[in-house]
């Protein structure tokens, strides 16, 4: 249960919103939406989530935090925009393009042959016993696999299936090497593979199918 009514979130796309079906039509790189400290704002939210994951507040402190969060939520309520105009996901200057929902990664190389990135699973990505939750590992593969597909075809694709093999434990707070690449393409079907390594140790690998969307496809 939240304080926000459903319509708070249902910001309709405008005439000039840059989308066409399921595509973000305007792939123009933007580093300006959200302002110069947007990345720091996202980082503070991630740090807060890290703390929340491990904090055991007193009743009083929980109430205090709730009051502070209500104030912050009210501030952002005055600035909500539709998903196509939101900076989250398009800020290529920021880890994970400024997308708060993704584990933060930085791309070191990307092109038609694949993507090399460094991901850090944060404390709030904890699954159990000090290591990453498998679902978060899959999210990293999904996004960076989708990026390998996008860079191959110069357009948007959607995940058909994604299989993750968890080969060994995936640590938190550790820079991990991710590689995703197009193994083969058959028309609109892009068969994508990926790996996550902690040094020489393979943590997980991925086998996925991404399907290129047709123009205007939702």
Ligand X SMILES: CCCCCCCC/C=C\CCCCCCCC(=O)SCCNC(=O)CCNC(=O)[C@H](O)C(C)(C)COP(=O)(O)OP(=O)(O)OC[C@H]1O[C@@H](n2cnc3c(N)ncnc32)[C@H](O)[C@@H]1OP(=O)(O)O
Q: Which is nearer to ligand X, 167 or 189 (CB)?
A: 189
Please name which of 99, 93, 101 lies closest in space to residue 30, comparing C-alpha atoms.
93
Q: β-pairing, 126-128 with 131-132? A: antiparallel
Place of tokens 């191959």: 152
Q: Which residue is nearest to ligand X (CB)?
A: 146
Between residue 17 and residue 56, which ones bind ligand X under the rule CB under 6 A?
Answer: none
Q: Give the SS3 label for residue 140.
A: helix
Strand partners, 180: 115, 194
State in angstroms the smallest separation of the CB of 90 from ligand X: 9
Q: Which is nearer to ligand X, 157 or 195 (CB)?
A: 157
Which H/E stretch holds residue 107?
A: strand 105-111
Of residues 31, 85, 118, 159, which one binds ligand X by CB under 6 A? 159
User: What whole-number distance in Å separates Cα of residue 22 and Cα of residue 37?
Assistant: 29
Place of tokens 């989530």: 49
User: What whole-number distance in Å separates Cα of residue 189 and Cα of residue 209?
Assistant: 7
140 counts as binding ligand X under rule CB under 6 A: no
- With CB under 6 A as the contact rule, which of the stretches 8-16, 52-60, 121-129, 138-146 interacts with ligand X? 138-146
φ, ψ of residue 70 in degrees (nearest 5): -60, -40
State in angstroms the smallest separation of the CB of 43 from ligand X: 19
State in angstroms the smallest separation of the CB of 60 from ligand X: 41
Of residues 119, 131, 147, 176, which one binds ligand X by CB under 6 A? 147
153 counts as binding ligand X under rule CB under 6 A: no
211 counts as binding ligand X under rule CB under 6 A: yes
Between residue 91 and residue 110, which ones bind ligand X under the rule CB under 6 A?
Answer: 92, 107, 110
């Amino acid at each position: 249960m939240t304080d926000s009514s459903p319509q708070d979130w249902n910001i309709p796309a405008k005439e000039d919103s840059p989308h066409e079906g399921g595509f973000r039509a305007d792939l123009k790189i933007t580093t300006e939406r959200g302002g110069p400290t947007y990345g720091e704002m996202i980082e503070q939210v991630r740090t807060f989530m890290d703390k929340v994951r491990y904090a055991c507040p007193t009743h009083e402190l929980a109430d205090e935090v709730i009051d502070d969060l209500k104030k912050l939520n009210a501030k952002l309520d005055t600035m909500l925009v539709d998903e196509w105009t939101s900076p989250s996901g398009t800020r290529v200057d920021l880890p994970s393009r400024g997308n708060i929902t993704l584990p933060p990664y930085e791309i070191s190389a990307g092109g038609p042959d694949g993507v090399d990135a460094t991901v850090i699973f944060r404390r709030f990505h904890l699954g159990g016993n000090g290591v990453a939750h498998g679902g978060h590992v899959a999210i990293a593969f999904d996004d960076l696999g989708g990026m390998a597909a996008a860079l191959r075809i110069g357009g948007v694709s959607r995940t058909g299936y994604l299989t993750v093999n968890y080969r060994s434990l995936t640590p938190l707070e550790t820079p991990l090497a991710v590689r995703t690449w197009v193994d083969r393409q058959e028309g609109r079907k892009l068969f994508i593979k990926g790996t996550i390594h902690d040094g020489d140790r393979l943590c997980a690998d991925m086998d996925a199918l991404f399907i290129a969307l047709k123009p205007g496809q939702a």
